[in-house]
Structure 1
Amino acid sequence: MKQLISIALFILVAVAVVGWGSDSLQPKTAVPEVSIDRTIHTFQSQSPAEKNAVSQPQVDSSRLWKHVETLAGEREGERARSFTRDYISQQLKTFGFSPKLQEFDRGINVFAERKGTDSNAGAILIAAHYDTVPQSPGADDNATGVAAVLEVARLLGSRPTPRTLQVAFFDREEIGLLGSLAFAGSPARLKNLQGAIVLDMIGYACRTAGCQRYPEGLKPQPFLDAAGVTSPDKGEFIAVIGDAEHPLLLGTFAESPQADLPPVMTLPVPLKGLLTPDVLRSDHAPFWYKGVGAVLVTDTANLRSPHYHQSTDTLANIDRPFFIGSAQIVVNATAKLLEIR
């Protein structure tokens, strides 16, 4: 996950293009507090009968773990990234997909889709970046995200749904979101796209008081309360961050929490994050600035994990039950969104 985006550049973004800034932990400019609509909305994307009629497939914890085991290791150089692309492509082929490569300056994305049964229903994209920073194994950042996207492809790739399922694996997120910028910069890729789910670090939990922090300028307490988070200073929840203009995506993640899965804190961000650049640090941001609804699913990275961008981002520091539960949450939400006409 990219560390920080300069607020000054994002003022320019609001007018023209997206700019990417410093990798320091703190904003260069003080971020004013943002007034957020704290009303807890309820969403009904499907009737109760439709929800009951669609059973959600269950993730295979062994498969998920095997993906992370295979992928964990520095993926910054071309050789390592090429191995990762080959692994992703081979997995997709075994699931019945025909993966394609999208080349761009300094990197290559992997993309595949399974057509829906209703050509007018549009598509849902689920994506994760596969590169790392130098000298970091990137087990959480972002082998966990890649593994979960592969599991979604396996579980839902052969399942007939009204909407088309698209999967993408972005390259070069760590040096400026280059892969997602290239993807979102292609009008053909955005045609009929009804929403994007971006996974970036979904496998780390912390359970000591004070280990969880929050972006400057945001007041998440109402949303933590709505998610049933009783210890907000502990990192035991998964966060889903979306632009306030597209509440259906957030609402789908908020529906039907399960006691055996991590709590889901859904956070609507106004003004496309212009005044809160700390929420623009991953591959969902280019979609926001193209007017496409997108959510970031994350364990909140360095706001929780001391292993972020470090050599200690290893398999040993992944919380396996939390990771498996987070992946199941993603599968559940994706399956629901694919059923909407």
Structure 2
Amino acid sequence: MNTHALRHDVITLATAAGRMVGTAGHEQARGYLAERLAGLGLDPYGERFELPYAASGARLCNVIGVAPGTQPELAPIVLAAHYDTCGPLPGADDNAAAIAIALRVAEQLRAEPAPRGVVIALFDGEEPPHYLSPAMGSIHWYHHQRRGPVHCAVVLDLVGHDVPVPGIEDLVFVTGMESDPELVIDLAGVSDSVRVQPVLNRYVGDLSDHHVFRAHERPFLFLSCGRWQHYHMPTDTPDRLNYAKMAGIAELVELLVRRVSAAQLSGPFEGGDTLALELAGVERHFGKLLGGAAKLVGRRGVDAFVKLAMGGFGL
């Protein structure tokens, strides 16, 4: 499993200077990402890859390219990850790892296009003080830079680290399957490198750039490994990431994008029933941690487990 490109992108982006909005590191990252999108042979989203905007006295810039699909008349998928950091921090896991994965998937989609075009959206302004404000890159893009309808959004954040619980280090959580019945996809066994645990978005909230899509009732999937001890810390450095796991997540994301590209996604919004997949995943991944407790039953059982996971397991 070749992880060289993933590692190179993370090391290039995750410097000690960080990528905080308004800093030299932020400007350097912006230029690097535009060059990477061009180097992959993607089309600019409009006239240029860089889409600058100003908000509250700050200069921000979304960096966006397109992997064309074989049926350009279809509404595209958005594959998104933010590139700014919360302060002058390296931000290897938050969120250089997600950028590297998105670029890997973009390369695969350029070589073998999906039916729908895929907008590779590297959003700015996800971190405070812009988070959930009109200056947040994804929100600004949706309202002011978007060039038509969106079929579905696939958003990545905090996808470079091992889950800090023994026995489930290779897990990745996916929310948003409930946003459309066609997104209720059984991903058990699809990868040798990562395991997938579906979870309702309402359990964790709109933690990243999928917020604007959910708020406007667009289908979405959000992938994350959760928070860990290096979240928003100077210790979030490239040497602490699991690049083999990242390669597995890249394969998973490509599979999801291709499946979603072929799906109708005709709603109703939040009409997907994920309960069976959630219960099966909890039993499969957390059974030993539960110490042989009785099987979870129904939504109340999942509710109780999520409360335990967020407390006792530290997720």
- Decide: shared fold, TM above 0.5: yes
Please give the alpha-carbon distance, in whole angstroms, between the structure 1 residues aligned to 2:218 and 2:2. Answer: 31
- Alignment partner of 2:127: what SS? helix
Q: Is the 8 A contact 1:126 1:196 kept in 2?
A: yes
Q: Identity of aligned pairs, percent?
A: 29
2:40 corresponds to = 95
2:183 corresponds to = 249
Please give the alpha-carbon distance, in whole angstroms, between the structure 2 residues aligned to 1:75 and 1:280. Answer: 22
Q: Is the 8 A contact 1:162 1:340 kept in 2?
A: no
Which residue of 199, 202, 206 corresponds with 1:267? 199
In structure 2, relative to structure 1, the CA distance for the partners of 1:121 and 1:98 (3 Å cut) is closer
Matching residue's letter, 2:157: D
2:25 corresponds to = 80
Q: Is the 8 A contact 1:102 1:108 kept in 2?
A: yes
**How far 1:118 moved relative to its partner?**
2.1
Which residue of 168, 172, 179 corresponds with 2:137? 179
- Alignment partner of 2:173: what SS? strand
Matching residue's letter, 2:239: A
1:165 corresponds to = 118
In structure 2, relative to structure 1, the CA distance for the partners of 1:287 and 1:338 (3 Å cut) is same
Please give the alpha-carbon distance, in whole angstroms, between the structure 1 residues aligned to 2:126 and 2:256. Answer: 24
Please give the alpha-carbon distance, in whole angstroms, between the structure 1 residues aligned to 2:183 and 2:126. Answer: 23
Please give the alpha-carbon distance, in whole angstroms, between the structure 1 residues aligned to 2:263 and 2:179. Answer: 18
User: Which runs of 5 or more residues in structure 1 are unaligned?
Assistant: 1-58, 210-230
Q: Give the TM-score taking structure 2 as reference length.
A: 0.72
Please give the alpha-carbon distance, in whole angstroms, between the structure 2 residues aligned to 1:66 and 1:119. Answer: 32
Matching residue's letter, 1:245: S
Higher relative contact order (CA 8 A, sep 6+): 1
Matching residue's letter, 2:210: H
Matching residue's letter, 2:196: V
In structure 2, relative to structure 1, the CA distance for the partners of 1:328 and 1:147 (3 Å cut) is same
Residue-by-residue CA offset, 1:247-274 (whole Å, 9 max, x unaligned): 43352xx3363351211112233xxx3x
User: Which runs of 5 or more residues in structure 2 are unaligned?
Assistant: 265-315
Matching residue's letter, 2:52: E
Aligned residues: 248
Alignment of 1:199 with 2:150, yes or no, is: no
Aligned pairs for 1:1-341 (under 5 A) are 60-73=2-15, 74-76=18-20, 77-99=22-44, 100-104=49-53, 105=55, 106=58, 107-175=60-128, 176-177=131-132, 178-186=136-144, 188-189=146-147, 191-206=148-163, 208-209=165-166, 234-242=168-176, 244-251=178-185, 254-255=186-187, 257-258=189-190, 260-269=192-201, 273=202, 276=203, 278-301=204-227, 305-340=228-263
Please give the alpha-carbon distance, in whole angstroms, between the structure 2 residues aligned to 1:97 and 1:259. Answer: 27
User: Which contiguous aligned blocks of 4+ residues in structure 1 show a shift greater than 4 angstroms?
Assistant: none
In structure 2, relative to structure 1, the CA distance for the partners of 1:93 and 1:288 (3 Å cut) is same
In structure 2, relative to structure 1, the CA distance for the partners of 1:208 and 1:336 (3 Å cut) is closer
In structure 2, relative to structure 1, the CA distance for the partners of 1:121 and 1:322 (3 Å cut) is same
Matching residue's letter, 2:6: L
In structure 2, relative to structure 1, the CA distance for the partners of 1:101 and 1:207 (3 Å cut) is closer
In structure 2, relative to structure 1, the CA distance for the partners of 1:289 and 1:319 (3 Å cut) is same
Residue-by-residue CA offset, 1:159-200 (whole Å, 9 max, x unaligned): 2332111110011100214101101223844x2311001110
CA RMSD of aligned residues (A): 2.1
In structure 2, relative to structure 1, the CA distance for the partners of 1:258 and 1:160 (3 Å cut) is closer
1:53 corresponds to = none
In structure 2, relative to structure 1, the CA distance for the partners of 1:138 and 1:250 (3 Å cut) is farther
Q: Is the 8 A contact 1:195 1:249 kept in 2?
A: no
Matching residue's letter, 2:71: D
Q: Is the 8 A contact 2:151 2:218 kept in 1?
A: yes
Please give the alpha-carbon distance, in whole angstroms, between the structure 1 residues aligned to 2:215 and 2:191. Answer: 35
1:19 corresponds to = none
Please give the alpha-carbon distance, in whole angstroms, between the structure 2 residues aligned to 1:207 and 1:310. Answer: 16
Residue-by-residue CA offset, 1:268-293 (whole Å, 9 max, x unaligned): 33xxx3xx5x4211100111011111
Matching residue's letter, 2:65: A
Q: Is the 8 A contact 2:191 2:252 kept in 1?
A: no
**How far 1:328 moved relative to its partner?**
1.8
